[in-house]
Structure 1
Amino acid sequence: MADIDPAAVLTQWAEHHTGLALAHHRAVTIRWINAGKASQGATLTMGGQERAVKRFRVCEGCGKLDRETGQNNPHEHRAWCAFRNTHEEQNRTIVLTHTLQTQGLVVYLPRHITLADDFAIPSLAAAVRLGLREHLGGEPDHLDIALVRAPLPNQQGTADALLIHDLVPGGTGYLSEWETSKNLHRLLATAWEVVANCPCKDEERLACHRCLLPFAGVGRQVGRVSRATAERHLATLLCLDGDEPDKVPDFRLWKTESRIDTAHYLDRESALEHDFRKLLLDRFTTAGATIKETPKPTGNVAAITLPGSPRRWTLSPQVHVLGTVPDFLLVTDDRNVPDVAIYTDGWQFHASPTHNRLGDDAQKRTRLREAGYVVLGVTYDDLANAESGKALQPYLDDAAKAKAIGLPTTQSSPKAYDRLSANPLDWLVEWLVEPDVNALTTASRAMMFAFSPARPSSPMEEPKLRAIPQPVGVGESLAGLVARELSGGQLPPSSVDRNRKAALWRSGSLGVGIEQLQDTFEIAVVLDDRQASLADGRESWQAWLRYANAMALRDWPTTITTLSLVDASLATPKAPVETFEDTVVELDGAWADLYDLANEGAEQAVLTQLASAGVGAVPVIGEEGPGGIMLDISWPEAKVAVEIEPMEEADRADLLDAGWQIVPVDASTLITDLAAAGVK
């Protein structure tokens, strides 16, 4: 334990970007306490923490340790002890202490480094010892490091810190060399270079004798010292880009200031990812799960098992998937259960006027949904609600549930309907225990009942959505309809499609559209991400994420997007796409053979038009493009494909990246579009 007086600071500084800070104290008091072996009975409060310890029972006359309770034996006393031959024991329970007053450097570690990572502090302590050894050319025997909770300026709380201190009473003055930001950067950079290049990174071990193992005894945390953890956190503290292959520590990347910003240690939103991980794993443990953590280059991977369950789960941080990096990926070895991609979203860094990443967020998550992933968004409010036990208003009341249960296509269990509005953490615990994919998929289809005009539901604090009858334009998508309402676009009467009916709800900068198709209902949720809408749009943004969570498994047409991503032309309805008419044309040769292979309908109609127009280049049907992408009608040598069935966005992106041209299937422009693409 350490007594650190904020008034005894000689000098202090903080790095602006990471929150790493240092304070040089001219005097600190350090106490080592030996309370004996751990015990399941008696407890002792030390340093603000209650610990189960046995303590020492000694004779109050001679101080010798009493090993046998309940009886007094002469051999448990010194020869001259007055209680040596008494019948009753005369004992006292004590702890042993050693006190040192000396100089110290307090290195404050920001919350996003230490939270929910049991390997972080022991690994960084060992890395600092390693850096000292490299610079001293030998073991730093006159220095030691204690793991402490240090006071923040202005009595604003405490933070995790490393206390580098002299072992000489009063201090030697040697620590003054390391109080400057430049020298501490040099020490951390040296440690990072050693751990980043240590051969044990390829040996499937936590650390070795060449890097951190000689210092693994710091804080008695031998099993918690990890080379990978030290490398990752040192890179963060040194402002090194994790994706840069040839990164080199550079002091010029640091921006130091004399004031210590306590937000790095107290602001929960800035450490949302770590708070979520800690809270989720605690919930898993409460549910009976066994968790084993293994440090990896991107963070600790948690292996999770439940008693009596055949499934094994892993929670991995920062996994690259289809061009995006979710904060966590929850995966099970049961391949009938889809992977869950989890994004921890802070409003300040995703949806504020300062940082607007909404369009990018929507694109990446849509790509994952289309690939079969379950996508969940978690906000700070979700964590606060989970901790307080506050529940959201159910999306489906009893009447809506009864209506959903009455339809074969939306018939599910009451529990599955309730999970639509569950807090993401509660949802994930239920998913771990019982990943009932079919029940949740069917229940999520019924989300159209959440927007019934008779009961305007909302994931916000109060129901605020209002029903707006809305005409649909010819060729207008449902997302386009919502975008038009959000942007104030007008629909000329001549452009109304009188064969379509849709309903639209709006609250703030959020719009929800619903349209009945043949046997399904389409839902489009659009968030206005224009700069002017962001300042007052936090509540709408949270609702947007929660609706997306509720429909994460929905297998009916569902769009979760932003206004910026909806094609601007949708505000003014597109002209109807000209369809292919049934035409009887006699084909011969290669065209006739191709026609026989084609699917009835659009494919055969396209081939007929191509042959009738005198196109000389005969295409192929069912060709595999780059990465095994199936193509309807294509000319592989020219890298041109006709899109008859809508492609997944990921496939479209891969084709375009490979240099392919994709021609839409529109009878009025097909021949000219193909000619422009080089097919004649």
Structure 2
Amino acid sequence: IETWRFCPRCSHAENLAEHTDAHSACPRCGDPLWANVDQRMRMARLRQVMANTHDRDSRIGDDSEDREPVFYTRQMLADFEPQAIEAAYRIASDSLPFGFEYIRKVAFREINFGEHGNSDQTSLIAGHEISRPGFRLCRSCGMVQESRNAEQQHAFSCRLRQQNEPDNIIDCLYLYREFSSEAVRILLPTAAIEGAERNLNSLVAALQLGLRKQFGGQVDHLRMTRYDEPIADSDNRRRYLLLYDSVPGGTGYLRELLRDHRALLGVLQKALDTLTTCPCNFTTDPAKDGCYQCLYAYRNSYDMAATSRDAAVALLSEIVAQADHFEPVSGLSTINVNPIIESELEARFIEAIRRCALNGLDVQIQQKVIAGKPGYFLRAGEHYYEIEPQLNIGSSQGVHFASCPDFVIRSSRVRDAFKPIAVFMDGYQFHQLKVTEDSAKRLALVQSGHYWQWSLTWADVNAYFAGPATQLRNPFLEGLHEAMQPLQNK
């Protein structure tokens, strides 16, 4: 049995039998909660698994032919030293944060935290707070106990088989396997985050398609996982796709991909060429958005509905178009991701409005072209509103200090008219260098007498993604000004 300490914010973990437990903060990201007693957890390296059952229970009967599946909480933690980054490239533009880097050695730890939903107690590891009930097993033979209140179960040869002492059982033990290999870390572009699962699944499938075209034959040992890391002095996180070699030590495929930036871009170009020339582009079915000759062969059946050829083409085209504008950098952590953070917050704001419907509010929101650009149409009960993104407001609208709110919400009916609401999403690096200027812009909107103004932070928006709908605060029911009574009434 090993005792480990886990960081609550990043993927770093240490086996306390190999490291002195003397750090007051995480050695990797500096989080002071590293030293919290709750971050010490017991684990066992998974080396062998055996299953057995009574002969009587194993026989097929007519009473039931249904198997009851059991799901487990698993988490892949990828940890590496900053010095392990050998090559990194980014698009030389702050408006399009994207890049990739080769890491020669990454420690991968896949941890099984026990049966899913089997405990109300949660713990925070690498930024993810979830239930981690662990396993209860015999400290001698390793037999997993089915129930906390049931009679102890042991292997036939176990020396503790005839005893029934509580100390025989280890409570809340996690199982893990570990290996080291090479990896390529890819900073997810803005569009991949905006489109949530659809765009991300499409990008993963396109990368797998491109790898198959690049290397030929089977490349099943090259796998992908999501990875994120905390941003210093912020609650936000950088989001990545981690392409890794599942063969311990690596096979050299990924090193070949990052011999220069054009090698990986060549993979993306091959995927793009295949997608744009696939016969499914030329069918008479307008709803056909991929097939098994292009993307579908690379996704699991449960991901198929959230995989789109057109989404993959749009993502790859944006990246490949910048092929001549890549530059070497020391690492992806130096890239300014503020545009990504802001874009993700804006997307989550729209999704938060959708979630109001889960709280009993009669709300519907759908995409619509507003003033010649993509926007949204919102219905709240009997009232109808338009949500226009990125609207420039200045002297022509009676505002003496020009600004560009992230969204403007206005009534779509004259009889329901009220002053439009200018919505500002305050994400990462909010006004770090321009507090006075931004405050003046927002005050000017209110002083004009033509607009109301909302300022929303990550905490405001994320409240609609944490916990059941009955706990959500409804912005259309609470705390709105009298001039916004049509919304408040609904």
What is the TM-score normalised by the length of structure 1?
0.44
Q: List runs of 5+ in structure 2 lacking aligned partners.
A: 1-76, 396-401, 432-438, 461-472
Counterparts of 2:264 and 2:273 in 1: how far apart (Å)?
A: 14
- Higher mean C-alpha deviation, range 40-49 or range 27-36: 40-49
Residue of structure 1 aligned with 2:379, choices 332, 336, 357 = 332
Go from structure 1 to structure 2 and tell me whether the alpha carbon gap of 1:205 and 1:314 turns closer, same or farther (over 3 Å shift). farther
What is the aligned partner in structure 2 of residue 87 from structure 1? 164
Specify which of 326, 337, 344 is matched with residue 266 of structure 1.
Answer: 337
1:202-221 alignment to 2 at 5 Å? 202=285, 204=287, 208-217=291-300
Asked if residue 29 in structure 1 is aligned to residue 107 in structure 2, the reply is yes
What code does the residue aligned with 1:78 have? Answer: A
Equivalent pair of 2:183/2:245 in contact (CA under 8 Å)? yes
User: Helix, strand or coil for the counterpart of 1:177?
Assistant: helix
1:177 is displaced (CA, Å) by 2.0
Q: Is the 8 A contact 1:116 1:275 kept in 2?
A: no
* Contact preservation (8 Å) 2:110, 2:177: yes
Equivalent pair of 1:131/1:191 in contact (CA under 8 Å): yes
Secondary structure of the 1:172 match is coil
Q: 1:42 to 1:331 in 2, by over 3 A?
A: closer
> Which of residues 56, 72, 79 in structure 2 aligns to 1:3?
79
Q: Which residue is 1:401 aligned to? A: none
Q: Which residue of 123, 126, 131 maps to 1:47? A: 126
Aligned pairs for 1:118-129 within 5 A: 118-129=197-208
Counterpart for residue 454 of structure 2: 423
How many residue pairs get matched?
362
CA distance in 2, matches of 1:68, 1:360: 58
Aligned to 1:175: 254
Distance 2:132 2:195 in 1: 25
Contact 1:33 1:96 in 2 (8 A): yes
Which of 343, 363, 367 in structure 1 is aligned with 2:389?
343
Please name the residue that 2:265 is paired with. Answer: 185
Structure 2 CA distance for aligned equivalents of residues 151 and 13 of structure 1: 20
Q: What is the SS of the residue equivalent to 1:140?
A: coil
Does the aligned pair in 2 maintain the 1:342–1:376 contact within 8 Å?
no
- The answer on whether the counterparts of 2:377 and 2:387 sit within 8 Å (CA) in structure 1 is yes
CA offset digits 1:365-386 (Å, max 9, x no partner): 99x999x99976544559969x
For residues 38 and 166 of structure 1, do their structure 2 counterparts lie closer, same or farther at Cα, with a shift above 3 Å needed? same
CA RMSD of aligned residues (A): 4.9
> How far did 1:421 drift?
2.8
Q: 1:206: Cα distance to partner?
A: 7.3
| Equivalent residue, structure 2, for 1:307 | 360
Change (3 A) 1:42 1:194: farther
- C-alpha offsets along residues 5-62 of structure 1, whole Å, 9 cap, x if unaligned? 2111211111124322111111111111122321242334333322213322111110
The 3 A distance-change label for structure 1 pair 188 and 61 is same
Supply the distance in 2 between the matched residues of 1:119 and 1:22 (Cα, whole angstroms). Answer: 21
Distance 1:8 1:273, change over 3 A: closer
Q: Is the 8 A contact 2:383 2:486 kept in 1?
A: no
Alignment of 1:398-477 (within 5 A): 421-423=452-454
5 Å-filtered alignment, 1:646-657, equals: none
Identity of aligned residues (%): 20
Q: Secondary structure at the match of 1:289?
A: helix
Query: What is the CA–CA distance in structure 2 between the aligned matches of 1:263 and 1:237, rounded to whole Å?
Result: 19
Determine if contact 1:340/1:376 at 8 Å carries over to the other structure.
no
* Change in 2 beyond 3 A, CA 1:195/1:332: farther
> Structure 1 pair 152/378, CA: closer, same or farther in 2 (3 Å)?
closer
1:13 aligns with 2:89: yes
Q: Could you tell me which amino acid in structure 1 is paired with residue 390 of structure 2?
A: T
1:289 to 2:357 alignment: yes
Q: Counterparts of 1:267 and 1:344 in 2: how far apart (Å)?
A: 16
The structure having more radius of gyration, on CA atoms, is 1
Deviation at 1:346, TM superposition (A): 9.1
Mapping of 1:491-640 within 5 angstroms? none
State the match for 1:538 in structure 2: none
Deviation at 1:115, TM superposition (A): 5.2
State the SS of the aligned residue for 1:70.
coil
Aligned partners of 1:163, 1:82: CA distance in 2, in Å? 45
| Aligned counterpart for 2:315 among listed residues 233, 237, 249 | 233
8 A Cα contact 1:272 1:344, kept in partner: no
Residue 196 of structure 2: SS of its match in structure 1?
Answer: coil
More helix by share: 1
Among 275, 299, 302, the residue aligned to 2:345 = 275
CA deviations on 1:581-626 (whole Å, 9 max, x unpaired) are xxxxxxxxxxxxxxxxxxxxxxxxxxxxxxxxxxxxxxxxxxxxxx
Q: Unmatched 5+ residue regions in structure 1?
A: 240-249, 291-305, 352-357, 398-416, 444-680
Match of 2:257, as an amino acid? W
State the 1:238 CA deviation.
2.5
Equivalent residue letter for 2:182: Q
From the superposition, tell whether residues 275 and 359 of structure 1 become closer, same or farther in structure 2 (CA, over 3 Å).
closer
Task: Report the AA paired with residue 276 of structure 1.
Answer: E
SS at match of 2:109: strand
Q: What letter matches 2:357 in structure 1?
A: A
Query: Per-residue deviation at 1:308?
Result: 6.0
Q: Which has the higher strand share?
A: 2
**Candidates 155, 161, 165, aligned match of 1:78:** 155
Contact 2:80 2:107 in 1 (8 A): yes
Aligned pair in 2 of structure 1 residues 94, 430: CA closer, same or farther (>3 Å)?
Answer: closer
What is the CA–CA distance in structure 2 between the aligned matches of 1:360 and 1:265, rounded to whole Å?
21
1:109 pairs, out of 178, 181, 188, with: 188
Mapped partners of 1:62, 1:163: distance in 2 = 37
Show the counterpart of 2:72.
none
> When the two structures are superposed, what TM-score results if normalisation uses the length of structure 2?
0.59
Distance in 2 between residues matched to 1:86 and 1:151, nearest whole Å: 48
Question: What SS class does the counterpart of residue 423 from structure 1 fall into?
Answer: strand
Q: Structure 2 vs 1, CA of residues 261 and 168 (structure 1 numbering), >3 Å: closer, same or farther?
A: closer
| SS at 2:149 equivalent | coil
**Judging changes above 3 Å, is the alpha-carbon distance between structure 1 residues 126 and 54 closer, same or farther for their aligned structure 2 residues?**
farther
